[in-house]
Amino acid sequence: MGNLTFGIVKPDAVRAGHTGNIIQRINEAGFKLRAMKTLHMSQRGAEGFYAVHRERPFFAGLTEFMSSAPCVVMVLEKEGAVKAWRDLMGATDPAKADEGTLRKDFGGSLGENAVHGSDSDENAAIEIAYFFSQLELV
């Protein structure tokens, strides 16, 4: 069980001005922010990030959305970080997310659901390395 995971405040939540609230919730839940930056992904950058979903019917819409506006990418540290962050995010579909989760409070739809989180330690390492160099991890 690793202590690091990778998260994104997606373009819908950044656009709606929820970044500060989401970071506050991350702090309150006991995560340390090891790295964070705002960036605007290109379509190709988003396609590379979501390559595992290439064959899915929502791939084009997902990568178009993720490259539509700036997002905030971050590295979070906590014991059992992958599960802890997914628990705080809530279910993929905000309509099915539990009370007190970020997607319940800030997600608008299945496609535009406010936050991303790695689904395994292995993918966390891959996703962190996709966006951050060793130098950027404090």
Six-digit token string for 8 = 């994104």
Please state the closest distance from residue 135 (CB atom) to ligand GDP, in A.
28
Instruction: Between 87 and 119, name the residue whose CB sits nearer to ligand GDP.
Output: 119
User: Residue 92 contacts by C-beta under 8 Å, 6 or more apart in sequence?
Assistant: 103, 110, 113
- Binding-site size, ligand GDP (CB under 6 A): 9
Three-state secondary-structure class, residue 71: strand
Q: What is the CA radius of gyration of the chain?
A: 14
Question: Binders of ligand GDP among 53-92, rule CB under 6 A?
Answer: 58, 61-62, 92
Task: State how far the alpha carbon of 126 is from the alpha carbons of 78, 106, 121, 130, in Å.
Answer: 18, 26, 9, 6
11/132 with CB nearer ligand GDP = 11
Annotated active-site positions, please?
116
Question: Residue 44 or 96: which CB sits closer to ligand GDP?
Answer: 96
Residue numbers at the binding site for ligand GDP (CB under 6 A): 58, 61-62, 92, 110-111, 113, 116, 119
